[in-house]
Amino acid sequence: MFDDPQYHSDEKSRVRAFHWNRVKDEHFMQCFEQDEALIEGVGLFVQQALKGESAAIIIATEEHREGVANFLRGNGLDPARLQREGRFTSLDAAETLARISVDGRVNRQRFFEVAGTLISRASNSWGEVRAFGEMVNLLWLEGKRAEALELEGLWNQLGKIYPFALFCAYSKGAFECGEDEECFSHVCEAHSMVIL
């Protein structure tokens, strides 16, 4: 699928056609080939919260964080002002992953201290919360597949405490392992919805 030239040309179209406004308290994922499509997808996802009276959190690579901020500015939103108001939080994925880890492994207590605090604060202040994260993708690309699935499980546990929408993105390269189909099925099982 990813090697099909038609897939590349259609990726942005599929992102634009998706009903981002209908996403509620779900934990969903999408695989991306193009950074531009990922940035646009995340931008469309979080702007739904930020154009209303809700909160958005992104935990992403620096390139993607800057891309989303540019997307928001291009759509009439001021990320810096929204951050000052506490409605928009943008964190580096690698730094946040280090904060929730002990001895190089994701730690449940640290996860709830860091991610749990972010979600609870946003939820208590603004009600609806939309979050986007790339930490699982970083782990998966490092070959830490069990740990990535463990982190997906922690997000699911957090979702039982606070209702929020969580968007996980995996790069195309994430599933180029020897047992592609099995890898992909385990990740899909951790999510309530998979956008193909």
**Residue-wise pLDDT tens for the chain (196 aa)?**
333 444 445 766 666 656 566 667 777 777 788 888 889 999 999 998 999 889 999 999 999 999 999 999 999 999 999 999 999 999 999 999 999 999 989 999 999 999 999 999 999 999 889 999 999 999 988 888 889 889 999 999 999 999 899 998 887 766 555 555 556 665 666 655 566 5
Domain harbouring 100, CATH code: 3.40.50.300
Whole-number percent of the chain with pLDDT over 90 = 55
Residue 16 lies in a domain: no
d(CA 23, CA 91): 22
Token pair, residue 39, equals: 């940035």
Residue 25 lies in a domain: no
CA quadruple 189, 113, 91, 75: dihedral, nearest 10? 70
Residue 149 lies in a domain: yes
Q: What is the pLDDT of residue 46?
A: 94
Tell me how far apart the 2 most distant CA atoms of the chain are, in Å: 46
Q: What is the pLDDT of residue 109?
A: 97
d(CA 90, CA 149): 23
Residue 3 lies in a domain: no
Residue 117 lies in a domain: yes
Residue 85 lies in a domain: yes
* Domain span holding position 168: 37-195
Please spell the DSSP secondary structure of 47-99, one letter per residue: HHHHTTT-EEEEEE-HHHHHHHHHHHHHTT--HHHHHHHTSEEEEEHHHHHHH
Long-range contacts from 73-78, C-beta under 8 angstroms, 24+ separation: 75/43, 75/47, 77/47, 77/50, 77/51
Among 37, 50, 51, 70, CA closest to 169: 37
d(CA 31, CA 38): 9
Strands 55-60 and 88-92: parallel
Per-residue pLDDT of 100-114, as tens digits, reads 999 989 999 999 999
Residue 27 lies in a domain: no
Token pair, residue 72, equals: 């928001």
**pTM higher than 0.85:** no
- The number of folded domains in the chain is 1
Among 85, 96, 162, CA closest to 124: 162
Residue 8 lies in a domain: no
